[in-house]
Amino acid sequence: MILHVDMDAFYASIEERDEPSLKGKPVIVGGSADRRGVVAAANYAVREYGVHSAMPTKTALKLCPHAIVLKPRIGYYREISKTIREVFHSYSPLVEPLALDEAFIDVSGSIRLFGSASEIGKSIKQNIQEQVGLVASVGIAPNKFLAKLASDVDKPDGFCVVEENAVQEFLDPLPIKRVWGIGKATLAVFEKLRVRTIRQLRELPEQLLIDRFGKSGAQIWRLAKGIDNRNVIPDREAKSISHETTFASDVADLDVLIAKLLDQTEQVGRRLRRAGLKARTINIKARYDDFQTVTRSATASEPTDQTDIIWQFAKELLLSKLPDRPTCLRLLGMGVSNLDDTGQSQQLMFDREEQKRNKSIDSVADQIKNRFGDSALHRGLSDKKNQ
């Protein structure tokens, strides 16, 4: 069985924990409105006004003028995330982090030691509460897709188990938008077919979906039947490491997209270094508002784990390599592949000093952010052409 553990409103919950007077009030963690800031996290009180992550802070304050805006302390959040992951690893070595606030855990080999998957899930929730004073939602199911859906049931503080013999009972009533890969354009097609629930979706012929949507149609059909054969893969064993974000609403603001891509790049770089890996290929993935999905990649001359080098490739792919069309995205992601664990590279002599300098910068930056928070140090971003 697989667990999906998702911390509830992670950044905002930490701030509420540290300052109890914030509880019950609308709280936004993000950049300032007068500097084109973006919402990094929104607590449940402010979500009732329609505020969500990745929304410009200026827009969020129009929806909820009395919201309290707090500057993110990403380094601090990462330290708490590290403690939470130690809890995960105490139950299974098969932990696949998706972000600071969520991860998949395969507990199939842990049941003899710790009891059923349900008992493990409850124990993890309790340990997180005791160690960091935060609430997690847990979904337990036979595969990653189902576990992810289950963790969203009854949030916050959710706990849902989907047994193997009850998969369709769980899936059938859900709206089709809960299926990965179904966005606005796809929903419009299904609306014409009067298909609104997953049950109605799975009763369609697979070939019909393939004819309409190509390979993604077959994937949609399999997910509607609860079929997902992906394994939980720890970073150290992964063939690639990536992070992507599906926005609550489509994003056309290039500044927001650049900020999100940089955050993803920093997370991927940290995961590379934590796993003792280097990558040769950098990839980005962009899904447009009409559901066109585009991937672009670039290959470095030598494998690297340095955030600045990875970022130079990622930003170039975003700014220069996407199709010549309005950039309005519902999903943005980046990742690295062609991983190398040898720790060796064939650097030219005149490159060595710069490589050492970049490595030192990453190390020092990590230490500063861990101690003082992400806002204590910023990478130099000037204008859109040079970001």
Torsion of CA 340, 345, 347, 349, to 10 degrees: 150
Given the residues 15, 102, 169, 244, select the one marked as catalytic. Answer: 102
Chain centroid to CA 137: 16
Residues 6 or more apart from 182 whose CB is under 8 A from it? 176, 190, 220
Cis-peptide into 205, omega within 30 deg: no
User: Is residue 102 among the annotated active site residues?
Assistant: yes
Give whole-number Cα distances, 94 to 126, 163, 321, in Å: 20, 20, 35
Residues 6 or more apart from 283 whose CB is under 8 A from it? 240, 242, 295, 296, 297, 317, 334, 335, 336, 337
Amino acid letter, 206: E
Question: CA 248, CA 252: separation in Å to the nearest integer?
Answer: 13
Q: For strands 329-340 and 278-288, give the pairing.
A: antiparallel
Question: CA 213, CA 199: separation in Å to the nearest integer?
Answer: 19
Closest CA to 69 of 37, 44, 91: 37
- Beta bridge partners, 293, equal 287
Amino acid letter, 145: F
- Beta bridge partners, 141, equal 2
Backbone Cα Rg of the chain: 21
Torsion of CA 378, 15, 144, 182, to 10 degrees: -70
Residue 87 sits at φ, ψ, to 5 deg, of -60, -45
Question: CA 138, CA 280: separation in Å to the nearest integer?
Answer: 35
As annotated, the active-site residues are 102
